[in-house]
């Protein structure tokens, strides 16, 4: 069986994790701080904080910005549940918007239509690693009419004076737009380092701060660091200094810091990330070459003028089929020894959101993409022979089911 997305764990990672384990420091410490600094340099943002997950990062920023009951946060209907769950955790309302026709990301016009005086944050999602339309979204929140609608209720909201744009960049580390790295494309971006991501730390995530002046991103980093450690005024590393044991708890915070064991994996992965991306590009090219002659194949967007994906997921769509036929095709592919997936079930299909009154028919573009989408394996250790097998199996399965 060709697996869908196994992590790339080799001896180099084993050695670095062993060093961390034997160092006497396994929680948040020097390796985590080094990883944060190297990420900041790679991305070009102002400051980075690493955490236990991207989900934790998304929620910490919503909490930091003062999002609460009565507020609205705009999010795509086509995304993983984490993007919206964090809004619910804060007591706010997820306002879902439909996809673009051209790709899987949120429609800017749908975002515009969804903005009200209650809107505090927009969360674009870089589905499959292809950046959302940040130029247009950033311009939108600066429009005088949109700014005039904004009702600030915290000092952070007053300081920004507009809707915050927070990228759910869980898929897109290494993607670029207009020559800039993902993580440096809007106010704040949040990466995931989950086991299936391009760059993994087993579990983990990072917040990349790029807020404009007069925000002090160093201070915000310190605030987020405190929030991620129960609101404690000193982290474990600071408390190791002689006579520095005493601390305060400034607020009832959370527990979502990254450990040095995780950071040890991340440092290895970041150091070789460009070669990882090169291999992913090669796999994408083989898929494109293998499917482009098929009149049923809808090739996912991954490179356009100004934008390039991180090549995280290959979202193949099959023209003219419905959900039941897509599922039958997937079953054929599995039976032939290839693991595939679907990214994603739109949020209104899920019980947690359906029960809140969200209706799938309100998001026709998301449905039209979901019902005929199959995600193919893309990972560093996938061989050319395996890619050829996948292409052959997918073609045969589609043609068997649709003939």
Identify whether residues 204 and 130 lie together within a single domain.
yes
Residue 240 has pLDDT above 80, yes or no: no
Per the structure, the count of domains in the chain is 2
- Evaluate the CA torsion angle 185, 189, 193, 194 in order and state its sign: negative
| Mean pLDDT computed over 94-110 | 97
Phi, psi (5° rounding) for residue 121?
Answer: -145, 145
**Does 382 fall in a domain?**
yes
**Does 56 fall in a domain?**
yes
- What's the pLDDT score for residue 236? 76
User: In Å, what is the CA distance from 98 to each residue of 44, 102, 124?
Assistant: 31, 12, 11
Of 130, 182, 173, the C-alpha closest to 266 is 173
**Does 37 fall in a domain?**
yes
Structure tokens at 245: 């044991």
- Tell me the pairing of strands 188-192 and 205-209: antiparallel
SS3 of residue 102 by DSSP:
coil
Identify whether residues 131 and 230 lie together within a single domain.
yes
From CA 317, how far away is CA 143, in angstroms rounded?
A: 36
Identify whether residues 337 and 267 lie together within a single domain.
no
Last residue of a domain, one of 241, 271, 301: 271
| Mean pLDDT computed over 99-116 | 97
Identify whether residues 183 and 228 lie together within a single domain.
yes
**Does 1 fall in a domain?**
no
- What's the pLDDT score for residue 274? 95
* DSSP character string of 139-207: HHHHSHHHHHH----SHHHHHH-S-EEEEE-TT-TT-EETTEETTSSSSEEEEE--TTSSS--SS-EEE
Residue 193 has pLDDT above 80, yes or no: yes
The pTM assigned to this predicted structure is 0.97
With tokens 């023209």, the residue in question is 319
Query: Tens digits of per-residue pLDDT, 334-382?
Result: 999 999 999 999 999 999 999 999 999 999 999 999 999 999 999 999 9
**Does 204 fall in a domain?**
yes
- What's the pLDDT score for residue 245? 82
From CA 319, how far away is CA 333, in angstroms rounded?
A: 17
- What's the pLDDT score for residue 237? 76
From CA 160, how far away is CA 164, in angstroms rounded?
A: 8
Residue 244 has pLDDT above 90, yes or no: no
Identify whether residues 211 and 352 lie together within a single domain.
no
Identify whether residues 311 and 262 lie together within a single domain.
no
Identify whether residues 121 and 83 lie together within a single domain.
yes
Tell me: cis bond preceding 25? Omega within 30 of 0 counts: no
Alpha helices in 115-143 (DSSP H): 134-142
pLDDT band, very low/low/confident/very high, at 94 (cuts 50, 70, 90)? very high
Last residue of a domain, one of 219, 243, 271: 271
CATH number at residue 318: 3.90.1150.10
Identify whether residues 133 and 264 lie together within a single domain.
yes
**Does 213 fall in a domain?**
yes
Phi, psi (5° rounding) for residue 368?
Answer: -65, -30
Identify whether residues 37 and 171 lie together within a single domain.
yes
Alpha carbon 304 to its chain's center: 20
Identify whether residues 245 and 278 lie together within a single domain.
no
**Does 34 fall in a domain?**
yes
Phi, psi (5° rounding) for residue 178?
Answer: 55, 35
Structural domain range at position 344: 274-402
Q: At CA 19, angle to CA 13 and CA 22, rounded to 5?
A: 140
Taking each helix axis from N to C end, the angle separating 217-227 and 54-64, rounded to the nearest 10 degrees, works out to 110
| Residue 245, burial from CB neighbour count under 10 angstroms (0-12, 13-18, 19+) | exposed
**Does 6 fall in a domain?**
no
Identify whether residues 177 and 263 lie together within a single domain.
yes
Query: Tens digits of per-residue pLDDT, 289-342?
Result: 999 999 999 999 999 989 999 999 999 999 999 999 999 999 999 999 999 999
CATH number at residue 35: 3.40.640.10
Last residue of a domain, one of 271, 304, 328: 271
Alpha carbon 331 to its chain's center: 28
Q: At CA 296, angle to CA 290 and CA 302, rounded to 5?
A: 60
Structure tokens at 235: 């982290």
Of 270, 268, 107, the C-alpha closest to 173 is 270
Identify whether residues 351 and 260 lie together within a single domain.
no
Cβ neighbours, 10 Å, residue 364? 11
Alpha carbon 80 to its chain's center: 9
With tokens 């991305």, the residue in question is 43
Phi, psi (5° rounding) for residue 207?
Answer: -105, 125
C-alpha Rg value of the chain to the nearest Å: 22
């Amino acid at each position: 069986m060709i697996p869908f997305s196994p992590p790339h764990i080799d001896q180099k990672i084993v050695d670095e994790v062993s060093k961390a384990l034997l160092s006497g420091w396994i929680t948040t410490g020097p390796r985590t701080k080094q990883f944060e600094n190297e990420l900041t340099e790679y991305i070009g943002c102002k400051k980075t904080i690493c955490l236990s997950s991207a989900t934790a990062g998304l929620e910490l920023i919503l909490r930091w910005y003062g999002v609460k009951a009565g507020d609205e946060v705009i999010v795509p209907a086509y995304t993983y549940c984490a993007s919206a769950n964090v809004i619910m955790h804060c007591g706010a309302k997820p306002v879902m918007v439909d996809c673009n026709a051209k790709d899987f990301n949120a429609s800017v016009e749908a975002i515009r239509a969804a903005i009200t005086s209650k809107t505090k944050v927009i969360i674009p999602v870089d589905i499959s690693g292809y950046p959302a339309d940040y130029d247009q979204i950033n311009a939108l929140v600066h429009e005088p009419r949109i700014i005039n609608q904004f009702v600030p209720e915290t000092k952070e909201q007053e300081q920004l004076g507009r809707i915050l744009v927070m990228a759910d960049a869980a898929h897109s580390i290494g993607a670029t737009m207009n020559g800039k790295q993902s993580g440096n494309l809007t106010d704040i971006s949040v990466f995931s380092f989950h086991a299936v991501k391009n760059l993994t730390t087993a579990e983990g995530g990072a917040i990349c701060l790029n807020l404009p002046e007069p925000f002090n991103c160093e201070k915000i980093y310190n605030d987020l660091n405190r929030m991620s450690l129960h609101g404690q005024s000193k982290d474990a590393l600071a408390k190791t200094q002689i006579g520095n044991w005493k601390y305060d708890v400034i607020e009832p915070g959370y527990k979502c810091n990254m450990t040095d064991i995780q950071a040890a994996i991340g440092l290895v992965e970041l150091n070789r990330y460009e070669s990882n991306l090169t291999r992913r590009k090669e796999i994408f090219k083989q898929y494109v070459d293998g499917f482009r002659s098929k009149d049923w194949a809808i090739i996912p967007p991954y490179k356009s003028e100004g934008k390039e994906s991180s090549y995280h997921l290959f979202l193949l769509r099959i023209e003219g089929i419905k959900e039941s036929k897509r599922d039958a095709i997937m079953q054929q592919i599995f039976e032939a020894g290839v693991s595939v997936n679907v990214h994603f079930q739109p949020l209104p299909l899920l019980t947690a959101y359906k029960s809140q009154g969200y209706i799938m028919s309100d998001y026709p573009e998301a449905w039209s993409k979901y019902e005929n989408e199959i995600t193919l394996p893309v990972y560093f250790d996938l061989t050319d022979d395996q890619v050829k097998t996948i292409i052959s199996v997918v073609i045969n399965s589609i043609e068997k089911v649709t003939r």
